[in-house]
Amino acid sequence: MPNPAHYKRRRAEFLAAIDTPVLLMAGGWISRNYPANWNPFRADSNFLFFFPEPEANAAALFDPKDGSVVLFLDERTQADALWHGAVPSFTDMKRALGVTAVEQRAELAKVVRKKIGRRRLRCLAIADARATAEAAALSGEALDFYSSARIGDEDLLRVIAHLRLHKDEAELAEMRIAAGVTREAHTLAMARTRPGIYEQELVGHVEGTFARHGCVPAYNTILSVRGEVLHNHAHGNLMLETDQVLLDAGAERPSGYCADVTRTWPVNGHFSPEARDVYDIVLAAEKAAIDAVRPGARYRDVHMTAARVLADGLVQLGLLKGDPGALVESGAHALFFPHGTGHLLGLDVHDMEAFGDLIAYGKDRQRSKQFGTAYLRLDLDLAPGMCVTIEPGIYFVPAILRDAAFKKQFKGQVDFRRAEEFLTMNSLRGFGGIRIEDDVVCTAAGREVLTAAIPKERLAVEALVGSGVA
């Protein structure tokens, strides 16, 4: 966990960059079925950025006029101490965190109104709708968490993004720990894989590993023999001898910093000849894209690097026809690689995705409208401290490869008959999909792969699968 001085410095940087008071909300408990049965609490990432392990319902008023940070916390009651355990007093919290004052959360509206007077207040929408409504009522803004256009004032988003975009050493240290826990989870899942068990058994090993290290899944674990379903969150399939299993899972630390890693391996420990070919192409694309990460590189070009290597390999496999450059230009590769090469990573697994393309594409860049490239979540020029994922894949998706419009559009570039062989192999279950994903931080010298210790060389993966040892 970064130390209190780290968070204090971040708050000071924020205060120096804003010109109106800003109220940030951590959010509260969100009920799962009846009011007192809650989902695990997770503070909003913009709050987590400024405070270590925030309490539910916390809020903070940043005032650049006097450089103050007033923290609002729930009153310490005897009932809370009984049911949930005693927590430090306001005085202790003020001292530990180094904030200007700690006030009662119940007094939030009164204290904020008094302090800001007639000045403009800015807030952000967060996942907790009640907290967002409170913030909107105080600031008069039309906030909506589910619309990136209404998440908050654009200048405020830019100020926060500027701070969050470049990870400092303390943040990177957290991400390295998350990567280490994620390594343990992935290698354990590989080691415990064998034909005849259900996917959920491996999910237990993955998420149990996170829990043993005080972490939680940073996002819903994807563990599936149906790897072509990109965000497949069901875990009920029986894993058969000739299936491949795709695991996309990452640990999140109590600080909020996380990892996002994908590996794919054969259930019986031996890639079939077709799977071996596809795996090698995806791995080559991933390595080429990782090598393209450096200061000044445009992320779209990193994506295109991966796309070209994939297209080249798909030509070798007889699935695409023609010049790889032309195939990428027309978008033919996207029938097998229908998503972007990656995204920002940090406190959110898709870091600051709630802020929309304003941050991930910057002011002057627009998303492509072409199928596949339209899903590219990032198009910034990379700079030291930026963390991104690199996650190319090849998938055999019936809904894409049997689509009449695509068949017509890409008639000369895609061998749909060959694709049909992949869709029907493995006793008609189809090939599925292969993705390999690592987390990469751009450094002055080029890059550091935070997740490099997680095996991905084909022989190393095969040796680990089913070994029982991790």
Give contact residues for ligand GLY (rule: CB under 6 A): 219, 248, 260, 343, 349, 391, 437
Q: Which residue number, 171 or 437, has a Cβ lying nearer to Mn ion?
A: 437
Q: Which of ligand GLY, Mn ion, none does residue 182 bind (CB under 5 to 8 Å by kind)?
A: none
Sign of the C-alpha dihedral, residues 66, 6, 49, 386? Answer: positive
Q: What is the smallest separation between the CB atom of 191 and ligand GLY, expressed in angstroms?
A: 22
Minimum separation from the CB atom of position 99 to ligand GLY (A): 34
219 binds, among ligand GLY, Mn ion, none (CB under 5 to 8 A by kind): ligand GLY
Q: Which of ligand GLY, Mn ion, none binds 148 (CB below 5-8 Å, type-dependent)?
A: none
Looking at residue 39, the DSSP 8-state letter turns out to be P
Regarding 141 and contact with Mn ion (CB under 5 A), the answer is no
- x/- string (CB under 5 A) for Mn ion, residues 420-439? -----------------x--
Position 181: which residue type?
A: V
Distance of CA 134 to the CA centre of its chain: 28
Select 223 or 423, whichever has its Cβ closest to ligand GLY.
Answer: 223
Residues of this chain, 374-393, that bind Mn ion according to CB under 5 A: 389
* Amino acid of residue 371: F
Q: How far apart are the C-alpha atoms of 44 and 27, rounded to whole Å?
A: 6
In whole angstroms, the minimum distance from the beta carbon of 69 to Mn ion comes to 33
Q: Name the maximum alpha-carbon separation found in the chain.
A: 73
Which helix or strand (DSSP H or E) is residue 52 part of?
none
Question: Tokens 């709708």, residue?
Answer: 129
| Least separation in angstroms between CB 345 and ligand GLY | 9
Rank residues 373 and 426 by Cβ distance to ligand GLY and give the closer one.
Answer: 373
Q: Does 260 bind Mn ion (CB under 5 A)?
A: yes
Closest CB 64 distance from ligand GLY, rounded Å? 35
Q: Which helix (H) or strand (E) holds 440?
A: strand 438-443
Q: Is 173 exposed, middle or buried (0-12, 13-18, 19+ CB in 10 A)?
A: middle
The verdict on 182 binding Mn ion (CB under 5 A) reads no
Compute the distance between CA of residue 321 and CA of residue 206 in angstroms, rounded to an integer: 40
Compute the least distance from the CB of residue 193 to ligand GLY, in Å: 20
CB of 263 to ligand GLY, least distance (A): 12
From Mn ion, ligand GLY, none, interface partner of 57 (C-beta below 5 to 8 A by class): none
Shortest CB 54 distance to Mn ion, Å = 25
Between 103 and 437, name the residue whose CB sits nearer to ligand GLY: 437
Nearer to ligand GLY, 437 or 462 (CB): 437
To ligand GLY, the closest distance from the beta carbon of 307 in angstroms equals 17
* Torsion on CA atoms 55, 58, 63, 66, rounded to nearest 10: -60
**C-alpha span between 202 and 247 (Å, rounded):** 9
Residues 6+ apart with CB under 8 A from 95: none
Mark the segment that binds Mn ion (CB under 5 A) among 119-127, 161-169, 245-253, 288-296: 245-253
CB 102 within 8 A of CB 61: no
248 is a contact residue toward Mn ion (CB under 5 A): yes
Smaller CB distance to ligand GLY: residue 121 or 218? 218
DSSP string of 352-415, one letter each residue: TGGGTHHHHT-SS-----STTGGG-----B--TT-EEEE--EEE--HHHHT-HHHHHHTTTTB-
Nearer to Mn ion, 335 or 344 (CB): 344
| Interface with Mn ion, residue 351, by CB under 5 A | no
When the beta carbons of 125 and 247 are compared against Mn ion, the nearer one is: 247
CB 237 within 8 A of CB 198: yes
Question: Binds 312, which of Mn ion, ligand GLY, none (CB < 5 to 8 A, cut-off by type)?
Answer: none
In the complex, the smallest distance separating the C-beta of residue 392 from ligand GLY, rounded to whole angstroms, is 11
- Do the Cβ atoms of 80 and 74 come closer than 8 Å? yes
**CB closer to ligand GLY out of 243 and 391:** 391
CB of 341 to ligand GLY, least distance (A): 10
How far is the C-alpha of 298 from the C-alpha of 279, rounded, in Å?
26
Q: Residue 141 or residue 260: which is nearer to Mn ion going by CB?
A: 260
Q: For residue 225, give both structure tokens.
A: 């023999």
Element (H, E) at 70: strand 68-73
Which residue, judged by CB position, is nearest to ligand GLY in the bound state?
248
Q: How many residues belong to the site for Mn ion (CB under 5 A)? A: 4
Phi, psi of 448, deg, nearest 5:
-130, 130
User: Two tokens at 277?
Assistant: 């070919």
Q: Is the Cβ of residue 27 or residue 340 nearer to Mn ion in the bound state?
A: 340
378 touches 411 (CB < 8 A): no
Binding site for Mn ion (CB under 5 A): 248, 260, 389, 437
